[in-house]
Amino acid sequence: MKNLLSVAIIMAFSIVILSFTMVSNEQSTTPQSSDVTYEVPNNVQVILDNSCYGCHNSDSKSTKGKMKLNFDKLGDLKQGKLVSKLSRIYNAVNEQDMPPKKFISKYPDKKLSDSQTETVKEWANDLINKNGGL
C-alpha cells in the first residue's frame, strides 16, 4: 500500500515536471524578436544551387563573391545582417545584376527565369518579414 502511494506520488511529480518542461519548450519555440528565422524550401534551394551557390559558398574561388554572400554561413548571421543580405539578394535578382551577365553568357542555363526570379524574391521577402523587416 505504502509502495503504491509512493509510486503514485512520484508519477504525479513526474507529470507536473514534464508538463512544466513542455510549457517552457513551447515558449522557446514561439518566435521572439531576436530569434533568427532561416529556412530554405526545396524549390528555392534548387534555384540557389543551380544559379548562385557556385560562387557564393565557403570554398568559392571568387573571394569577393564569397565575402559578399556565403550561403554556407547565411543561417549563422545575426538578424540585422541576415536581413541586409536578403534585401541585397532581392535587389540583385530583381534588377538582374545577378547572376552576372558575363557568367550567364558562358552558362546560359544559369540564368533565372521570370518565375525563378519571383520565387527567390518571395523567399527573401518572407524571411525579411519573419526577421523583423527592413
* Interaction site with another protein (CB under 8 A): 34, 63-64, 67-68, 78-81, 83-84, 87-88, 132, 134
Exposure of 67 in the CB half-sphere (CA atoms within 13 A): 3
Q: Which is nearer to another protein, 116 or 128 (CB)?
A: 128
Q: What are the grid coordinates assigned to 127, written together? A: 524571411
Q: How many residues does the chain have?
A: 134
The C-alpha atoms of residue 111 and residue 51 are separated, in whole angstroms, by 7
CA distances from 63 to 55, 56, 59, 66, 86 (A): 9, 9, 9, 5, 19
Q: Which residue number, 63 or 115, has a Cβ lying nearer to another protein?
A: 63
> Cβ closer to another protein: 100 or 132?
132
8 burial via Cβ count (<10 Å: 0-12, 13-18, 19+): exposed
Q: Which is nearer to another protein, 79 or 117 (CB)?
A: 79
Distance CA 39, CA 53 (A): 16
Minimum CB distance to another protein, residue 83 (Å): 6
